[in-house]
Amino acid sequence: MEDKNSKDTRKAVNIFIRISFIAILFIWSFTIIKPLFMITLWGIIIAVSSFPLHKRFTKILKGRDKLSAVLLVIIGLTFVILPVILFMDSTIESLGRIAESLKAGTLTIPPVSEEIKRIPVLGEKIAGLWTLLTGDFKDMIEKIAPQLQIYASKILGIIAALGITIVQFILSILIAGIFLINAEVSSRGAGKIFKILIGEFVEDFHEAAAGTIRSVVQGVVGIAIIQAVFAGIGMLAVGVPGAGIWSILVMILAIIQLPPMVILVPIAIYVYSTQTITIAVLYIIWTIFVGVLDNILKPFLLGRGVDIPMLVILLGSLGGMLTYGIIGLFAGPVILALGYKFMAALVEKNEIKNND
């Protein structure tokens, strides 16, 4: 008969072979899906956040869930394509001008117009503040102009990157549609996967995760996109150069929880100095509306999910953007919010056990 040591050795070898095979299979699978990982992840996030709307559409369409998913995909693609049509020409043109200015060494900042200076009480103060803020920047540009010239070609690369990002968003929306068509199967599968990965540490974590995703997407990312679109429409209406670039900056600031007025106020000053008083006043009112839009929408959208500290959103947005680009800007805060929610649930459960 085989002794106990031989059996233990053979058993250990078998376990090692199985673990190695599983590890190789997972690594191999991840290597294959890695180029599409963030696109798929963002597709899952879109599907989870739009699932309540999918259920409403299904009810309206008398149970035709596949038709509901197709309609949501069409709506999502429309929301991606329309801003592209509105802002892409302006964005490409502005980036091209910046690249040419860098090559020629003629990048400058326009001075405050005489109309701004003639504003009662505030005119001279605004002019002085503008000069103070831009004076050092002008000197810096003059000093580093030769170094800036090497970045002209990189700016042209940004234009190509924007095109790639748009394609990624379209693919993510299509992937989200596939998940929505198989919503029930996907939900059950997510529950089983979380149970395997997390065990019983956090019960029904997949439901809490869904609530967190909806909260962040609706209350942070959604509001930022709405603010950016409204800001861009206002800038296009009054002929602001580079409306697409400014809209993207407004969106980034809104996602990382910084006030978009940092961008919008200087643009309002520019509009006041280049347009008629009537147009300028209307644009300033529109700018104020865009600036307070998040305060109007957050109680309705962010309040539907769970509360996430703004520091988590900020770190997730910046880290996601630095790691994965524009899609990371959207997905980063969602992923970090999920991690925060999981850790908070573990801490809470541990405290309950200690109290018992």
Q: Are the C-beta atoms of residues 255 and 333 closer than 8 Å to each other?
A: yes
User: Residue 336 and residue 255: Cα distance in Å, rounded?
Assistant: 14
Which pLDDT value is given to residue 24?
92
80: how many CB neighbours lie within 10 A of its CB? 14
Q: Is residue 144 part of a domain?
A: yes
Q: What is the pLDDT at residue 286?
A: 92
Model pLDDT, residue 108:
54
Rounded to whole angstroms, the Cα distance separating 69 from 55 reads 9
Contact between 290 and 230 under an 8 Å Cβ cutoff? The reply is: yes
Query: 325: closest CA among 252, 250, 219?
Result: 252
Q: Is 160 exposed, middle or buried (0-12, 13-18, 19+ CB in 10 A)?
A: exposed
Let me know the angle formed at the C-alpha of 279 by 274 and 283, rounded to the nearest 5 degrees.
95
Domain assignment present for residue 140? The answer is yes
202 part of a folded domain: yes
What residue spans of the chain are helical by DSSP H?
A: 4-33, 37-60, 65-104, 114-117, 123-149, 152-181, 183-198, 205-216, 223-238, 243-255, 261-274, 277-301, 310-324, 326-355
Per-residue pLDDT at 161? 67
Q: Which of 90, 40, 76, 78 is nearest to 235 (CA)?
A: 90
Q: Which residues of the chain have pLDDT under 50?
A: 1, 140, 144, 147-148, 304-305
Residue 271 counted as domain residue: yes
| Assigned domain for 193 exists | yes
- State residue 79's pLDDT score: 79
Question: Quick one: which of 224, 288, 287 has its CA closest to 256?
Answer: 224
Q: Residue 12 domain-assigned?
A: no
How far is residue 37's CA from residue 41's CA, in Å, rounded to a whole number? 6
Structural domain includes residue 30: no
Q: How far is CA 11 from CA 6, 15, 100, 121, in A?
A: 8, 6, 69, 86
Q: From CA 221, how far away is CA 255, in angstroms rounded?
A: 6
Question: Could you say which DSSP state residue 50 is in?
Answer: H
Number of domains in the chain: 1
Q: What is the pLDDT of residue 100?
A: 58
Predicted TM-score (pTM) of the model is 0.68
The CA–CA distances, whole Å, from 273 to 83, 126, 243, 276 equal 27, 12, 17, 8
pLDDT value for 63: 81
CA count, 13 A, side-chain hemisphere, 288: 5
User: Is 19 within the bounds of a domain?
Assistant: no
What pLDDT score was predicted for residue 144?
46
The pair phi, psi for residue 112, each rounded to 5°, is -70, 135
Burial of 236 (0-12, 13-18, 19+ CB in 10 A): middle
- pLDDT for 1 equals 46
DSSP class of 110? P
DSSP designation for 28: H
Q: Cα separation of 304 and 309, whole Å?
A: 15
Range of the domain at 208: 36-350
**Using CA atoms, how far apart are residues 132 and 114, in angstroms rounded to an integer?**
17
